[in-house]
Structure 1
Amino acid sequence: MASSIRPHTFTARDLVGGHLAVDLVNTVTARNAEPVDWLDGYPRLLEWAALTGHFSPADLTALRELADAEPGPAEAALDRIRELREALHELLTALIGQEGPAAAGAAAATGGVTQVERDWKDAVAQARLTLNGTTPRLHVEVRTSGLDFLRHELALQAFDLLRALPLERARVCPGPRCGWLFLDSSRGGRRRWCSMATCGNSAKGRTHYERNRAGTGSSADSPTERGSGARRRC
């Protein structure tokens, strides 16, 4: 995926995917227009990881110290995270059906499957089996994974998601300058937008504008042309 890289301060409204691995995919925005990668460095990745609440502060502090001591390897580790992220995007969009007919979708997903498998195997090689109550799980540590700790944990989480992906609830947001993925956890299963506060409201604004324009013949710029639909995602 060709994208520009821009700094971004992550906030809670950037975590709408419904799963850690999906939120990683969504660290690239405007995938359906001009994609922008918000991970402009390993420190930014750590900021995102902290916001998710999935990783312990002690682990993130240890990673920050490693990254400060080894900036080159940290950037290489970030590149590997990006490879996993793009593989997950390719695989998930194919599974959701955005790549067209089933055969075409399966072909498009092949590269994604290969990369996710590679990252998962790499994670398993560093993991140990633990019990969470009565549930066994694979556990990775900064001590053994080093700067790849986040990638290893994300690969394990992604594998768990793919094993039980609720396809009937998996969506791609159709908003302009969006294309984010999300799992619809609403009661009725009719959620269309990644967030009503952003893409949903922008769509309502465009619909209202078009209705008014049709009724008055106005030639004023639309909300989208003025940039209202792109404020969050530029």
Structure 2
Amino acid sequence: MTGTIRPHTFKPRDLVGGHVVVDLVNTVTARDAEPVDWLDGYPRLLDWAVLTGHFAPADLTVLRGLAESEPVRAEQALARVRELREALHDLLTALIHQDGPAPAEAVEGLEAHWKQAASRARLTLHGTAPELRVDVGASGLDLLGHELALRAFDLLRALPLERTRVCPGTRCGWLFVDGSRGGRRRWCSMATCGNSAKGRTHYRRKRADGVDPDPR
């Protein structure tokens, strides 16, 4: 991704992807225009991770301390998360559009991140289901990247393509998995892109009817 890196305070409205891995992809906004990367540093990645609720608070506290004591390594770990994110974006959008084979570079990129994560993971049983789990002791500052790579593999194995979409909103391009009952969700969020589109449609109709949409 080539674009601008800009600080951002993450809020619940930023988590609309329907899966934590998709929410990672959406830490870049305006992909359909001039992309803006909201992960301006490792501490910001931790802020995002806290908000998702998908990572152990104790692990995140340890990671914050490690990042403060090893800032260079923290930035290197963030760079690897960005690489994973972009591989996932390219792979997911190719699967959604179904306009050709998935980009080999994206597939190879995800494979490399998954293998690295798996090499640090332990095989555990969750009930009767086997799982690969990573911990901060083995992964260090790469814990989030490793966990997200493992979850990405699980997501792709069961991805409901008929419900996975790209938001058509202006200056958006976010991805989301539609978990609604009817499966007809169009926008990443009605509160943002949906309402903006409704406003533009209303404006055009008023203009077409010869009515000043903004009389002053």
TM range, smaller chain: over 0.9
Q: Deviations over 1:159-193 (max 9, x none)?
A: 00011110000000000010000000111111000
Q: CA deviation at 1:101?
A: 2.6
Give the 5 Å matches for 1:125-204. 125-204=119-198
Structure 2's unaligned 5+ residue stretches are none
Aligned to 2:205: 211
Please state whether the residue corresponding to 2:47 is helix, strand or coil: helix
Q: Distance in 1 between matches of 2:90 and 2:99?
A: 15
How far residue 89 of structure 1 moved from its aligned partner, in angstroms, is: 0.1
TM-score relative to the length of structure 2 = 0.97
SS at match of 1:216: coil
Distance 2:160 2:117 in 1: 24
- For 1:224, the equivalent position in structure 2 comes to none
Distance in 1 (CA, whole Å) between partners of 2:51 and 2:23 is 11
Q: Is the 8 A contact 2:203 2:213 kept in 1?
A: no
CA distance in 1, matches of 2:200, 2:158: 36
CA distance in 2, matches of 1:194, 1:15: 9
CA deviation map 1:39-89 (0-9, x unaligned): 000000000000000001100000001000000000010000000000000
Deviating 4+ runs (over 6 angstroms): none
What residue in structure 2 maps to residue 225 of structure 1?
none
Shift of 1:132: 1.3
Equivalent position of 1:27 in the other structure: 27
TM-score (norm 1): 0.89
1:1-234 equivalence runs, <5 A: 1-97=1-97, 101-102=99-100, 106=101, 109-216=103-210, 218=212
Question: Structure 1: any 5+ residue segments left out of the alignment?
Answer: 221-234
* 1: CA distance, partners of 2:194 / 2:128: 41
Q: Structure 1 vs Structure 2: percent identity of aligned residues?
A: 71
Secondary structure class of the residue paired with 2:125: strand
Across the aligned residues of Structure 1 and Structure 2, the Cα RMSD in angstroms comes to 1.4
Aligned length: 215
Q: Deviations over 1:213-233 (max 9, x none)?
A: 11126496xxxxxxxxxxxxx
